[in-house]
Amino acid sequence: MTKGKRESQTSTEIFRFAEARIAIENVSHEIDGGRFPAKTVAEQPFEFFCDIFSDGHDVLHATVTIRPHRKGKNAASVDLEHLGNDRWQGDVTLPEPGMWELEIQAWRDVFGTWRRDTAKKLSAGQDISLELKEARKMVEDALEAKGAPKAATRKNLEALLQRLDRNDDTDSTQTLMSEETFQLMREAQVKANLTTYERKIHIWADREAAAFSAWYELFPRSWGKDGAHGTFDDVIDRLAYVKDLGFDVIYFPPIHPIGKTNRKGPNNTLTAGDDDPGSPYAIGSDDGGHTAIEPELGTLDDFDRLVAAAQDHGLEVALDFAIQCSPDHPWIREHPEWFDWRPDGTIKFAENPPKKYEDIVNVHFYRDAIPSLWIELRDVVLFWIEHGVKIFRVDNPHTKPFPFWEWMIGDIHKDHPDVIFLAEAFTRPKVMKRLAKVGYSQSYSYFTWRHTKEELTEYLTGLTQEECRHYMRPNFFANTPDINPYFLQTSGRAGFRTRMVLAATLAGNYGIYNGFEICEGAPVPGKEEYLDSEKYQLRAWDFDQPGHIKDDIRLINTIRRENAAMRDFTNLNFFTAHDDRVLYYGRMDAATGNYLLFHVLLDPHTPADFGFELPLWKFGLPDDASIEVQDLMHGNRFTWHGVNHRLALHPDARPYAIWRLYPPPGMRT
Amino acid sequence: MTKGKRESQTSTEIFRFAEARIAIENVSHEIDGGRFPAKTVAEQPFEFFCDIFSDGHDVLHATVTIRPHRKGKNAASVDLEHLGNDRWQGDVTLPEPGMWELEIQAWRDVFGTWRRDTAKKLSAGQDISLELKEARKMVEDALEAKGAPKAATRKNLEALLQRLDRNDDTDSTQTLMSEETFQLMREAQVKANLTTYERKIHIWADREAAAFSAWYELFPRSWGKDGAHGTFDDVIDRLAYVKDLGFDVIYFPPIHPIGKTNRKGPNNTLTAGDDDPGSPYAIGSDDGGHTAIEPELGTLDDFDRLVAAAQDHGLEVALDFAIQCSPDHPWIREHPEWFDWRPDGTIKFAENPPKKYEDIVNVHFYRDAIPSLWIELRDVVLFWIEHGVKIFRVDNPHTKPFPFWEWMIGDIHKDHPDVIFLAEAFTRPKVMKRLAKVGYSQSYSYFTWRHTKEELTEYLTGLTQEECRHYMRPNFFANTPDINPYFLQTSGRAGFRTRMVLAATLAGNYGIYNGFEICEGAPVPGKEEYLDSEKYQLRAWDFDQPGHIKDDIRLINTIRRENAAMRDFTNLNFFTAHDDRVLYYGRMDAATGNYLLFHVLLDPHTPADFGFELPLWKFGLPDDASIEVQDLMHGNRFTWHGVNHRLALHPDARPYAIWRLYPPPGMRT
């Protein structure tokens, strides 16, 4: 390289480096260095944080600009505020569902720096006549600045110059130090050393149901009259029941034709009788595959009527998306290249050596299956979207490739940003999180296996405080057709009541599988499975039987709906109760002034009489202050005095308590 | 868009997504999403970690490939090993100083998966005749694979096929399940779903002195004979003294001509007498600026001789790089555009309103100073590099723009990867870290202000365990010309001994400023400054005066040199001593089997007699095991039995103890 060329290259390099004088880092919603978007809810303000600082001591100014991804229109800008220790914060709201881009910018506020320093010199009685001249120059510069100021600002800057010309130093000092001039110079926005953060931050905004929803799961085939196979019309008749309990989402395991080959019998036996309906997860028969309806349930028209009826009840239908096939699935004939074939010409069954699952064959996602299978699966989802389904619970997504989900969910979301995907991935923590990163709106969790105060506190602290809170939203199912928790097998009614309260108030999304409301817990002995599981046979349910907990469910769902603090699952705080069997926590929403406290007795067998601390300090109140409180179970309002209180909980009478606090207005949190 | 075009676009998108089937994330040495390189030391192996996992349960294989940045040659590859919980690890060594690129790749090991699953089926007594046929196909595929196998592997694969043709199923099973076939198939490396991590990891390799060095700071002008102004020749006469104490680096405050205008007098007074030498930080006079030598110290030739003599003593000279000017600096005349001028034609002094520093003017780095000033400053550093200086201590780098440092250090490092920069940035934590990220090899720290067991434990745990350990290396100065720590002003000799031990054994880099060895601590009353500071006047030192701690310094520097565990500051562990005034820690290097324990009495006034736990568990030993131990202060070797021990430390007699452990060979750590 010639010397001249090298010098010119050096110059170019220096100018390139120099562009980013201000350090911007540690951005709250940047996941894996920008590899994945964070998630939030449209129209709900959230706190956005980053570190911003520069060399020296100049006053800085920073903003975050919000644009719809790949459109660039409708940019809105939010000022960031310095919290201390170089941490900056702004309240950001994404106005509608979809992908958004955030751009962070910071610059040195030259006039603000002058004003701050000149104030100090004035206090020290120093002569500031040169400073006044310097400030006048700044006003002149503002008129000449790149991206010239708006006409109104320009007029005001010119008027300011004229005033300075007329004034003596004392008047000029007053004029230049005034709040009015400060605001005018801020409007003019001379952005010295304007620095743009090197990466755009991507945030996906969901509609609220992605973060806040109450699910009720049922097998439509069990809801028939007098022991008959249930139909969609039977479900229509029971929508009022589900709505009355306070749920938002009614979710069905697969509703598609069920294979006959190797069909499973009751309790997962290998041979089914002629009348056994088989597992709905063995999808596909001569009647069709993933876009068909099991004839015994009804027709596609019946399904459309069910979706419409649910809407009329304020319920959404969620479907199961289970990418697996019975050996009778039409795809095997139509697309042999999607399956693994063995040297003897047979198809490879699902297996977990040495175990084999002979009613299920799995597609593979690579080799000849790409892109045709990926497109077909996307089209299955689009098919049901066209039939009004906007929520999909996905079966075992961790056994399918991450990139498939990332592509498919992204592709669906391009035209349908209101579609919600729940990942049923009971798997290792990092795999669970990756699925959330690649696009899942909600995730099944380890909740059913967390029982003690220590377990729940540690698990929830992780979910609500660690980085994953920005992309993973747990859905706390209290039970599922696959999980009859050991705890509930022996807890009795008190356990069902408290686990429901925990599920519904520790997470934004939660659900129960039917039978829970009547404390159904009979197991296959020694296993975490239901006896006579609906997965393999029809069941007849009597949800009015004595001992049901429908009153609890109604109450909790009402409390969830009526209290703003329940809508953001990250606002959870654990407080001190002096009993290891009592979980004591709060959901605190400062923006709406909505503050709830919960006491839950984790031991379903023995009463507790314990002391607990009222977190007066959360509101900036002294330890001897009083606070108004309402018992949300009974409605009565009264006053708590001081920090220390006692409470008795009893497995039968009152295994939990829920309180709403009314701190004096204006108290900080 | 036409339907055809859209379909083709979808296809392209799917293939692009599909390329990364395997998740690779949470990479140990990736700083700020790849924005900055991590740092390590050439030729020293380090542990590299990342998370790797995929859908399903296939056996994975992963490697990290190492290449010199922008050259691509000399690639070396290291296998990663699965540690559990989807975390993978490999020992990586970068062979020489410079910037390196690491590429992470992972793939599914199809044959390895077959082997694992078939072993399970064999154990369960299942028929595997189809599995054998499938394996044969894999061998055939390996011969056909992209990037065809090497000739030797090909020959072995062909021989394997022939053997399978000759054998019956029992023999084939044995052949295919053998370790030999496993290794052959691994050599063939059919990389199914080969996934490359989306970003290259950049790691800067320094020479060892960047991470492990002992500094001795002195003002050459004080080392004259009989009260005369010292010269470089006087320093040459004292090199043996510095070396004898065991130091590696001899560091001088600025050696450039000192300005006369507004020169400071003794103890920072505003008026200097004719004989006062002024602050060496007021750089520049008629005798020259940053590339000139203060005439009273000698000539450039004298300096060259000093550098050579230091080398002969095994010492390196470190210079101060202080970007500030006296009002007499030639740059002001030659480059008025680098300075801030006021409306009255005067130059702006350094200030921190309302304080003013009238012997110093600062350059600015933007507007007309770019790129000329940046290039000039780089050339100043190059000038001293040409005179044999490879270590620069940089004064107040946090008041100069980060991008300047990033560009300049990067530019210097292109041709001089062996140059080391130490940042003197006593500033906010994030600013300190940013300077390390943009390229500083070492950082001054908060060590001088951390005294209690709690403070030291918390601070060191952060430095050695948090992410910053990958890019920031503290240099623990026990004192500096600017910091006469309050603690040492009243601690007496015991405090000097223990602070030196802490500095030298808690960090890889440490230093003292002369006078420390004779426990000099007389302050400007009420301030953390030295009385009669050498910054403003000559001092005559008698380093043989009674009460010196030179024996401690020699001993500790010897221990540092002779024990491999001292070379990596992150291998620090704190252990339990039952006295809040005793800091008890270990430096443990499993690779070399070098294990040291340290007890330091933090209270310089009162003895301690305390119990402590010998960390037998670190070596996998039971609580009643014995371990050989050597007292490194006195040399004697003996045996410690069991976990619990007692020790007495005394401020005068023995304020610290250092032990080397000799666990039985083969014990894990």
- Taking only the tens place, the pLDDT of each residue in A318-343 is 999 999 999 999 999 999 999 999 99
Cα–Cα distances (Å) from A442 to A100, A421, A431, B317, B588, in that order, read: 19, 6, 14, 60, 44
* Contact between residue B339 and residue B332 where contact means Cβ atoms under 8 Å apart: yes
Is A653 an 8 Å CB contact of chain B?
Answer: no
User: Rounded CA gap, B563 and B596, in Å?
Assistant: 8
- Which tens digits make up the pLDDT trace of B473-517? 999 999 999 999 999 999 999 999 999 999 999 999 999 999 999
Whether pLDDT at B667 is above 70:
no
ipTM over 0.90: yes
User: Rounded CA gap, B248 and B22, in Å?
Assistant: 47
Assign A437 a pLDDT band (cuts: 50, 70, 90).
Answer: very high
User: Rounded CA gap, A311 and A390, in Å?
Assistant: 12
Whether pLDDT at A216 is above 80:
yes
Task: Please name the member of A25, A56, A366 whose beta carbon is closest to the beta carbon of B18.
Answer: A366
List beta partners, residue B216. B250, B512
Question: If you write DSSP's letter for every residue of A402-458 in order, what string do you get?
Answer: HHHHHHHHHHHHHH-TT-EEEEE--S-HHHHHHHHHTT-SEEE-SGGG--SHHHHHH
Q: What is the mean pLDDT of the segment spanning B256-276?
A: 92
Query: Whose structure tokens read 């130093």?
Result: A169
Phi-psi region of A620 (alpha: psi -120 to 50; beta: other; left: phi over 0): left
List beta partners, residue B38. B203
CB within 8 A of A9, min separation 6: which ones?
A: A1
Say yes or no for a CB contact (<8 Å) between B398 and A20: no
Whether pLDDT at A381 is above 90:
yes
Chain A residues near residue B472 by CB distance under 8 angstroms: none
More confident residue, B474 or A351: B474
- CA B310 to chain CA mean position, Å: 24
* Contact between residue A409 and residue A416 where contact means Cβ atoms under 8 Å apart: no
User: Rounded CA gap, A596 and A575, in Å?
Assistant: 12
For B412, the closest chain A residue by CA position comes to A10
Whole-number pLDDT of residue A167? 86
Which B-chain residues 345-404 have CB contacts (< 8 A) with chain A?
A: 351-354, 365-366, 370-371, 374-375, 398-404
User: Rounded CA gap, A281 and A259, in Å?
Assistant: 9
Assign A147 a pLDDT band (cuts: 50, 70, 90).
Answer: low
Chain B residues near residue A403 by CB distance under 8 angstroms: 17-21
Whether pLDDT at B316 is above 80:
yes
Where would I find the beta strands (DSSP E) of A483-593?
509-513, 572-574, 582-589
Average model confidence (pLDDT) across chain B: 95
- Which tens digits make up the pLDDT trace of B199-226? 999 999 999 999 999 999 999 999 999 8
Task: Please name the member of A121, A133, A354 whose beta carbon is closest to the beta carbon of B121.
Answer: A354
Torsion of CA A81, A86, A87, A93, to 10 degrees: 40
Buried b (16+ CB within 10 A) or exposed e, B313-349: bebbbbbbbbbbbbbbbbbbeebeebbeeeeeeeeeb
Chain A residues near residue B86 by CB distance under 8 angstroms: 428, 430-431
Average model confidence (pLDDT) across chain A: 95
As given in the structure block, the two tokens for residue B391 are 């270590």
User: Rounded CA gap, B428 and A52, in Å?
Assistant: 12
Whole-number pLDDT of residue B271? 85
Phi and psi angles of residue B59, each rounded to the nearest 5 degrees, phi first: -70, 130
Chain A closest-CA separation from residue B363 CA (Å): 13
Whole-number pLDDT of residue B239? 98
* Bond from prior residue into A371 cis (ω within 30 degrees of 0): yes
CB within 8 A of A596, min separation 6: which ones?
A: A505, A559, A563, A565, A566, A586, A587, A588, A632, A658, A659, A660, A661
**Beta-carbon-side half-sphere exposure of residue B202 (alpha carbons within 13 Å):** 15
* Bond from prior residue into B607 cis (ω within 30 degrees of 0): no
Task: Please name the member of A130, A198, A400 whose beta carbon is closest to the beta carbon of B344.
Answer: A130
Say yes or no for a CB contact (<8 Å) between A353 and B121: yes
Cα–Cα distances (Å) from B221 to A360, B252, B300, B389, B539, in that order, read: 86, 10, 15, 19, 8
- Which tens digits make up the pLDDT trace of B514-530? 999 999 999 999 999 99
Say yes or no for a CB contact (<8 Å) between A343 and B21: no
Whether pLDDT at B669 is above 60:
no
As given in the structure block, the two tokens for residue B561 are 């040199």
Phi-psi region of B268 (alpha: psi -120 to 50; beta: other; left: phi over 0): left
CB within 8 A of B192, min separation 6: which ones?
A: B107, B108, B109, B110
Q: How far apart are the first and last CA of chain A?
A: 63
User: Rounded CA gap, B317 and B255, in Å?
Assistant: 12
User: Rounded CA gap, A199 and A208, in Å?
Assistant: 27
> Taking each helix axis from N to C terminus, what angle separates A372-386 and B3-18, rounded to the nearest 10 degrees?
120
Q: What is the mean pLDDT of the segment spanning A214-228?
A: 95
Nearest to A110 by CA among A186, A36, A209: A186
Q: How far apart are the first and last CA of chain B?
A: 63
As given in the structure block, the two tokens for residue A230 are 């249930």
Whole-number pLDDT of residue A270? 87
Phi and psi angles of residue B546, each rounded to the nearest 5 degrees, phi first: -55, 150
Q: What is the mean pLDDT of the segment spanning A95-101?
A: 96
Whole-number pLDDT of residue A204? 98
User: Rounded CA gap, A644 and B236, in Å?
Assistant: 72
Assign B356 a pLDDT band (cuts: 50, 70, 90).
Answer: confident
* Contact between residue B394 and residue B408 where contact means Cβ atoms under 8 Å apart: no
Whole-number pLDDT of residue A359? 85
Whether pLDDT at B50 is above 60:
yes
Is B121 an 8 Å CB contact of chain A?
Answer: yes
B536 residue type, one letter:
Y
* Bond from prior residue into A354 cis (ω within 30 degrees of 0): yes
* Contact between residue A385 and residue A415 where contact means Cβ atoms under 8 Å apart: no
Q: What is the mean pLDDT of the segment spanning A116-123?
A: 95
Percent of chain B past pLDDT 90, that is, above it, reads 90
Whole-number pLDDT of residue B189? 77
| 3-class SS letters over A95-144 | CCCEEEEEEEEEEECHHHHHHHHHHHHHHCCCCCHHHHHHHHHHHHHHHH
Say yes or no for a CB contact (<8 Å) between B18 and A403: yes
User: Rounded CA gap, B629 and B619, in Å?
Assistant: 14
User: Rounded CA gap, A321 and A290, in Å?
Assistant: 8
- Which tens digits make up the pLDDT trace of A542-573? 999 999 999 999 999 999 999 999 999 999 99
Which B-chain residues 47-76 have CB contacts (< 8 A) with chain A?
A: 51, 53-57
User: Rounded CA gap, A286 and A291, in Å?
Assistant: 13
Whether pLDDT at A669 is above 70:
no
Chain B residues near residue A365 by CB distance under 8 angstroms: 18
DSSP state, residue A263: -
Mutation choice for B interface testing from A17, A172, A340, A382 by most B CBs within 10 A = A17
Phi and psi angles of residue B466, each rounded to the nearest 5 degrees, phi first: -80, 170
SS3 A309: helix
B213-217/B249-252 β-pairing? parallel
Whole-number pLDDT of residue B535? 95
- CA A536 to chain CA mean position, Å: 33
A192-196/A201-206 β-pairing? unpaired
For A197, the closest chain B residue by CA position comes to B35
User: Rounded CA gap, A502 and A449, in Å?
Assistant: 13
Whole-number pLDDT of residue A667? 65
A46-53/A60-68 β-pairing? unpaired
As given in the structure block, the two tokens for residue B140 are 């055939």
Is B123 an 8 Å CB contact of chain A?
Answer: yes
CB within 8 A of B101, min separation 6: which ones?
A: B66, B67, B68, B69, B200, B201, B202
Whole-number pLDDT of residue B352? 82
| Active-site residue set of A | 395, 424
Whether pLDDT at A668 is above 70:
no
Whole-number pLDDT of residue B149? 73
Buried b (16+ CB within 10 A) or exposed e, A169-202: eeebbebbbeeebeebbeebbbbbbbbbbebbbb
User: Rounded CA gap, A398 and B462, in Å?
Assistant: 35
User: Rounded CA gap, A427 and A429, in Å?
Assistant: 6
Whether pLDDT at A24 is above 80:
yes
User: Rounded CA gap, B24 and B90, in Å?
Assistant: 14
Whole-number pLDDT of residue B144? 86
Whole-number pLDDT of residue A148? 64
User: Rounded CA gap, A427 and A430, in Å?
Assistant: 8
Say yes or no for a CB contact (<8 Å) between A33 and B354: no
Q: What is the mean pLDDT of the segment spanning A483-489?
A: 97
Q: What is the mean pLDDT of the segment spanning B239-259?
A: 98
> Taking each helix axis from N to C terminus, what angle separates B151-166 and B179-188, rounded to the nearest 10 degrees?
140
Assign B351 a pLDDT band (cuts: 50, 70, 90).
Answer: confident
As given in the structure block, the two tokens for residue A610 are 């314990």
DSSP state, residue A32: G
- Which tens digits make up the pLDDT trace of A457-477? 999 999 999 999 999 999 999
